[in-house]
Structure 1
Amino acid sequence: MDNKKAIIDIGSNTIRLIIYLIREEKMIKEIENIKISARLQNYINPKQELNHEGMNVLLEALMVFKEIISQHKVSSSITVATAAIRQAKNHDEIKKRIYDEIGFSIKILSGEEEAFYGFLGVIRATDINDGITIDLGGGSIEITQFLNRKMVRFHSFPIGVLTLNQHFVKNKIPTSDEISNIANYLESKFQELEWLNNCRLPIIGIGGSARNVGEIDQAIKNYPLPSIHRYELNLRDILMVKATLQSLSFQELQKVEGLSKERADIIFPAIEVFQSIYKIVNAPFFQLSEKGIRDGILFDAIKEHNLSEKDFHQNLEKNLQEIALEFDIDLEKRVQQFNTVRKLFNSLMQTGIVDVDDMDLNELRLASCLYNLGEFFEKDSVGPHTFYLISNQSLDGFSHKNKIKIALLASYQSKDSFKNFVRPFKDWFTKKERQKLRLLGSLLKLAFALNRTKRDIIQDAKFHEDEDFLHLELYCNKSWKVEQQEADKQIRHLEKSLGKTILLHFKKLQTIWDEKS
């Protein structure tokens, strides 16, 4: 039975509400994501207490969230607080007032819990086995090391972008000396963790500051995808973002594409954090994650602790099932259609005229699940709709390149449409890769034509070549008139991809046994 669960995260910089729809088999869809920039860290007074004004900001935000939760008829909710409330000496008073006035029970997370939930959110959305996570918030930095997809070390620093800004920066934009002071301070802190030093593991960044650095880099490069999840930067990219921003006034900074206006005054400390940890770790790359602490809290609440690589791939399948459910795709029929794709693929591979492998077959399987997804909106423009929907979907398990591969295959209509779709991403693929994708797309298109009536009549497929033609024998257990008409229309796409004329031969299934005897 479907139910809705709300997670409220009271952070040092923002307060965020996310509402999830949890369907059968624990398929999860995010249906609401609202944040309020509260900057509670700035309301911590010299006595290390959240002051009266900060308390009112917090209560007002939670009252709004309570009304939204009520509108959605949420079955249960979890409210957590991190660094600002954790470090406030009057946190017991804060919890009591929130419970008395709003009705929410608040769990104040320890540094270890915050680090673990961030790791749990990340690991279920990446196929990286060994790495470092860094969750940069307003009042704390949580760092974990994971090996073989298990968290083995963690540390929570009681410093964040807001506290760095408060301690080191006098005006809205830091001076060169202030940036140097921040960098030296961070280097000394990170060096306290011996397990970080030159461990050469990939870094995964969590949180709004990390996403903003990635989004600015994407804007600088005119990156063709809007997705930030699993986007990768190297040290040179981070330094380029820093150099670009340093040349701007604060007014110009607030208009930078990819930079949230409310983060304009804290982006420089954030960049120093990422630059410092990148150098200490000597990382191969810095990857961004849209999944983090709130997702980890949800997974923990619904007892989803499976972290192995096998579990990751199962979650990937679940992700595809969620999309299929949302767009009314019959996955049982898609399995049927993929069986036809596989027969065509295996026979074509056996001829030796194409260079394909099991990874290509798996990509065809995934694309089969989403083939012509755009029919949900409009059949006349199914290709563009399909490509747009898949390339803009949040597919947790896919790299950006792999997501575009699936989008190109699932939306394949013709050579010309393929060229239009691949054009912004042309540099991502070699000429050979593009040719292979065209071949696989045309094979997928033919397979779906052969399943036009959804009766699963193609029981076997055999390619063989003579001096003049490539022959395709299709063995059927039922009448094939409709399938033959459809295949005759679509075979030209495969012919163009292979550069060969293909002759289709439809035969009764019994014929294959007669030929063997």
Structure 2
Amino acid sequence: MTKSRLFGIIDIGSNSVRLVLYEDAGHGIHRIVEESKKNIRLVGKVARDGSLPIDQLDELIQTLVHFRSVCVANHADFIRAVATAAVRNAANSREVVEALRAATGLAIEIASDEDEARYGFVGVMNSMTIRDGFLIDIGGGSTEITLFRDRQIVNSVSFPFGAVNTAKRYAPNGATDEASLRDIRVMAETLFETQPWLRQHPGLPLVGLGGTVRTLAKLTQKRSGYSLPLTHNYRIPLITVHETIDLLGSMTLAQKLKLDGLAADRADILVPGLVLLQTALMHIGASYCVVSGTGLREGVYYETACPEQPVTHDVLAHSTQILTHNAGMAPSRHIDQVHRLAMQLFDGLKTYHRLDEGARSSLYAASRLYRIGAAVNYYTYPAHSFYWITHARLYGLEHREIVLAALIASHTGKKKTRKAFLSHQDLLSETDLSTAVALGALLQLAAALDNGRRDRIREIRVASSDGAPLLELTCSEPPEAELETAMRLSDDFRKTWGFPLRFAVKEEHGR
């Protein structure tokens, strides 16, 4: 068994400073032990000559000393402190780094423009299956835009404006008007025009990182009564960005502070950040923004823990491994067997259900996670599995597919599945409910076919006999207990799928 390691990742951003403690179990499998944040607005302390006055670093030093003590108290094996635009662009950046090292004992790394873009890209690629698009990371003092094709970086650029320094210049009192909004757009558009490649890929989606985009998602979800408590992979249409700027742009700071979902430390810088996002969307020709809850810190972690291969080849499989690890569930032959049989049943019955790859991915996740709720209470684990799947960070699925996976995993009967479905009708249709019930029944069958926990069934093939499916089981020994358990599902299965359960058994020894 691989000994776990603890990594302390400190992100010295232009707006806030964050610490994340990752307990790494190997191959990028991890859990977050602790996370802390301090809003310092370092970029706001930059003097007119471009320097970051050393006598303005006291709050940062105190924060870093505290973060280092947290790492030491938790016996961290390694600490990486990475500084971005505010330190990188300071005229006295070397002096700043040395002052921080002397006061805190931390070796401060300055992320270059390319480093910052790459870290964000790695963080996103390990949490999304998207193959082509743009990334935009709106920080406090800079904005990075990256073009990627086939999950590889093609081009990237860093612009010297972010939510904090843009607000400081164009909205110093936290309020904006038509003139200041126009000035921000002109400033951003002028700099975007210096990079011709930004206009050469219209139609590609824009993935947004950073507090501006996440706050926009939270506000939008609050207003619409969105049923899923997740912002990662949430899509925000361009029209919603327009409407939010129109709503907030004429508000005073006091009015913004009353908005549900808007944190006090972001109220004065949100609108300038949104205008930067709006201008970028329109400039590159994207119709929506996809919210990413991962970015630089996750990228630094993966490059530290997995330097030879920081980007996973299979986002969904990697994510289900992380969730089962976090639940304290050891690798299980039974779960592996149920998963394998469920996917064989899905593929073998494709001509009967005609479901797409999205449904297959939901079944994939459900078959890996259907017992995860047993970490809370074995006797009510289906309900806990549903909650876990819809509230944890399950990467590699759209929001609709996440809820579908939760319904499949927790399925114990159509009535209970419908009751859970009713809370998510903003994401699912009646057709999705039928899919969840059908695949839930399929997962129940797969679990029944390993009732003896003996891996007796090596393969399931679907043949046609008398116009109905026949499940041909290749077995290492007679699966009597498994077939007895499976046949108890026969009536419900027939009602759901429209045909009875029928099996043919073939024994195959010596494998």
Alignment partner, residue 283 of structure 1: 286
Distance apart, 1:475 and its partner CA: 7.3
* Residues 151-160 or 91-100, more deviating: 91-100
1:151-190 superposed matches below 5 A? 151-190=153-192
Contact 2:54/2:96 (<8 A) preserved: no
Judged with a 3 Å threshold, the aligned counterparts in structure 2 of structure 1 residues 25 and 112 are, in CA distance, closer, same or farther, namely closer
Contact 2:167/2:174 (<8 A) preserved: no
Alignment partner, residue 229 of structure 1: 232
* Residues 199-208 or 327-336, more deviating: 327-336
Alignment partner, residue 317 of structure 1: 317
* Residues 163-172 or 427-436, more deviating: 427-436
SS in 2 for 1:97: helix
Alignment partner, residue 194 of structure 1: 196
Distance apart, 1:256 and its partner CA: 1.9
SS in 2 for 1:196: helix
1:439 aligns with 2:438: yes
Deviations 1:172-194 (CA, angstroms, capped at 9, x unpaired): 21122211211222222212221
TM-score (norm 1): 0.89
Judged with a 3 Å threshold, the aligned counterparts in structure 2 of structure 1 residues 421 and 53 are, in CA distance, closer, same or farther, namely farther
Distance apart, 1:441 and its partner CA: 0.8
SS in 2 for 1:428: coil
Distance apart, 1:325 and its partner CA: 2.5
Contact 1:132/1:203 (<8 A) preserved: yes
Cα distance in 2 for partners of 1:275, 1:197 equals 15
Which one-letter code corresponds to 1:138 in the other structure? G
Judged with a 3 Å threshold, the aligned counterparts in structure 2 of structure 1 residues 382 and 93 are, in CA distance, closer, same or farther, namely same
SS in 2 for 1:5: strand
Cα distance in 2 for partners of 1:132, 1:286 equals 10
Alignment partner, residue 218 of structure 2: 215
Contact 2:175/2:250 (<8 A) preserved: no
Contact 1:198/1:282 (<8 A) preserved: no
SS in 2 for 1:230: coil
Cα distance in 1 for partners of 2:233, 2:156 equals 22
TM-score (norm 2): 0.90
1:102-117 superposed matches below 5 A? 102-117=104-119
* Residues 276-285 or 166-175, more deviating: 166-175
Distance apart, 1:273 and its partner CA: 0.3
Deviations 1:269-297 (CA, angstroms, capped at 9, x unpaired): 01100100011011132111122112222
Contact 2:177/2:250 (<8 A) preserved: no
Contact 1:299/1:305 (<8 A) preserved: no
Which one-letter code corresponds to 1:271 in the other structure? L
Contact 2:30/2:326 (<8 A) preserved: no
Structure 2 unaligned spans of 5+: none
Distance apart, 1:392 and its partner CA: 1.2
1:298 aligns with 2:316: no
Cα distance in 1 for partners of 2:284, 2:119 equals 22
Contact 2:371/2:385 (<8 A) preserved: yes
1:332 aligns with 2:310: no
Cα distance in 1 for partners of 2:306, 2:348 equals 43
Alignment partner, residue 79 of structure 1: 81
Cα distance in 2 for partners of 1:470, 1:168 equals 68
Contact 1:446/1:491 (<8 A) preserved: no
* Residues 469-478 or 25-34, more deviating: 469-478
Cα distance in 2 for partners of 1:240, 1:2 equals 47
Cα distance in 2 for partners of 1:122, 1:83 equals 20
Judged with a 3 Å threshold, the aligned counterparts in structure 2 of structure 1 residues 461 and 94 are, in CA distance, closer, same or farther, namely closer
Cα distance in 2 for partners of 1:69, 1:414 equals 47
Cα distance in 2 for partners of 1:59, 1:147 equals 40
Contact 1:186/1:273 (<8 A) preserved: yes
Which one-letter code corresponds to 2:326 in the other structure? E
Which one-letter code corresponds to 1:295 in the other structure? E
Alignment partner, residue 148 of structure 1: 150
Judged with a 3 Å threshold, the aligned counterparts in structure 2 of structure 1 residues 163 and 294 are, in CA distance, closer, same or farther, namely same
Judged with a 3 Å threshold, the aligned counterparts in structure 2 of structure 1 residues 109 and 471 are, in CA distance, closer, same or farther, namely closer
Deviations 1:72-128 (CA, angstroms, capped at 9, x unpaired): 110011111112122323333322222222101111222232222222222332222
Contact 1:179/1:269 (<8 A) preserved: yes
Contact 1:129/1:147 (<8 A) preserved: yes
* Residues 328-337 or 218-227, more deviating: 328-337
Deviations 1:291-312 (CA, angstroms, capped at 9, x unpaired): 211222222223446488xx43
Alignment partner, residue 67 of structure 1: 69
Alignment partner, residue 101 of structure 2: 99
1:4-83 superposed matches below 5 A? 4-51=6-53, 53-83=55-85
Distance apart, 1:22 and its partner CA: 1.2
Judged with a 3 Å threshold, the aligned counterparts in structure 2 of structure 1 residues 43 and 341 are, in CA distance, closer, same or farther, namely closer
Judged with a 3 Å threshold, the aligned counterparts in structure 2 of structure 1 residues 109 and 357 are, in CA distance, closer, same or farther, namely closer
Identity between Structure 1 and Structure 2 (%): 28
Which one-letter code corresponds to 2:275 in the other structure? E
Deviations 1:349-369 (CA, angstroms, capped at 9, x unpaired): 5xx544346765554333211
* Residues 62-71 or 252-261, more deviating: 252-261
Judged with a 3 Å threshold, the aligned counterparts in structure 2 of structure 1 residues 193 and 429 are, in CA distance, closer, same or farther, namely same
SS in 2 for 1:74: coil
Judged with a 3 Å threshold, the aligned counterparts in structure 2 of structure 1 residues 257 and 329 are, in CA distance, closer, same or farther, namely farther
Which one-letter code corresponds to 1:364 in the other structure? L
Deviations 1:197-216 (CA, angstroms, capped at 9, x unpaired): 25212111111112111111
Judged with a 3 Å threshold, the aligned counterparts in structure 2 of structure 1 residues 233 and 312 are, in CA distance, closer, same or farther, namely farther
Judged with a 3 Å threshold, the aligned counterparts in structure 2 of structure 1 residues 83 and 503 are, in CA distance, closer, same or farther, namely closer
Contact 2:27/2:306 (<8 A) preserved: no
Cα distance in 1 for partners of 2:348, 2:483 equals 19
Alignment partner, residue 256 of structure 2: 253
Cα distance in 1 for partners of 2:167, 2:356 equals 53
Alignment partner, residue 372 of structure 2: 373
1:366-445 superposed matches below 5 A? 366-445=365-444
* Residues 100-109 or 469-478, more deviating: 469-478
Judged with a 3 Å threshold, the aligned counterparts in structure 2 of structure 1 residues 254 and 484 are, in CA distance, closer, same or farther, namely same
Judged with a 3 Å threshold, the aligned counterparts in structure 2 of structure 1 residues 358 and 220 are, in CA distance, closer, same or farther, namely closer
Which one-letter code corresponds to 1:432 in the other structure? T
SS in 1 for 2:27: helix
Deviations 1:326-354 (CA, angstroms, capped at 9, x unpaired): 331534222222343345445545xx544
Cα distance in 2 for partners of 1:99, 1:143 equals 30
Distance apart, 1:24 and its partner CA: 2.4
